[in-house]
Homo-oligomer: A and B are copies of this chain.
Amino acid sequence: MEEVAGFCIKQRGGYGGGGGNNGGTGTKCGRWNPTTEQVKVLTDLFRSGLRTPSTDQIQKISSQLSFYGKIESKNVFYWFQNHKARERQKRRRVLVDEPNEFHHQDKLSSTKYLAELNQVTEPERVLETLQLFPLNSFREPGAESEKRRLFANDNCKENTYNIGTEMEHPTLDLRLSFL
Contacts and interface: CB of A to CB of B under 8 A. Distances in A.
Interface residues of A, number: 95
A47 B161 CA distance: 27
A176 B19 contact: no
Contact of A172 (B64, B132, B153, B154): B64
Contact of A67 (B8, B92, B134, B170): B170
Contact of A20 (B10, B136, B161): B161
Contacts of A29: 156
Nearest to A92: B55
Contacts of A64: 170, 172-174, 176, 178
B73 A93 contact: yes
A71 B32 CA distance: 32
A45 B177 CA distance: 10
Interface in A34-91: 37, 40-41, 44-45, 48, 50, 55, 57-64, 66-70, 72-74, 77, 90
22 contacts: A1-B1, A4-B12, A15-B152, A17-B154, A19-B159, A19-B161, A21-B158, A40-B170, A45-B179, A48-B176, A59-B96, A60-B179, A62-B97, A62-B154, A64-B176, A67-B161, A69-B161, A72-B98, A74-B97, A74-B148, A129-B177, A132-B176
Interface of A: 1-23, 29, 37, 40-41, 44-45, 48, 50, 55, 57-64, 66-70, 72-74, 77, 90, 92-94, 96-98, 101, 128-136, 146-159, 161-164, 167, 169-170, 172-179
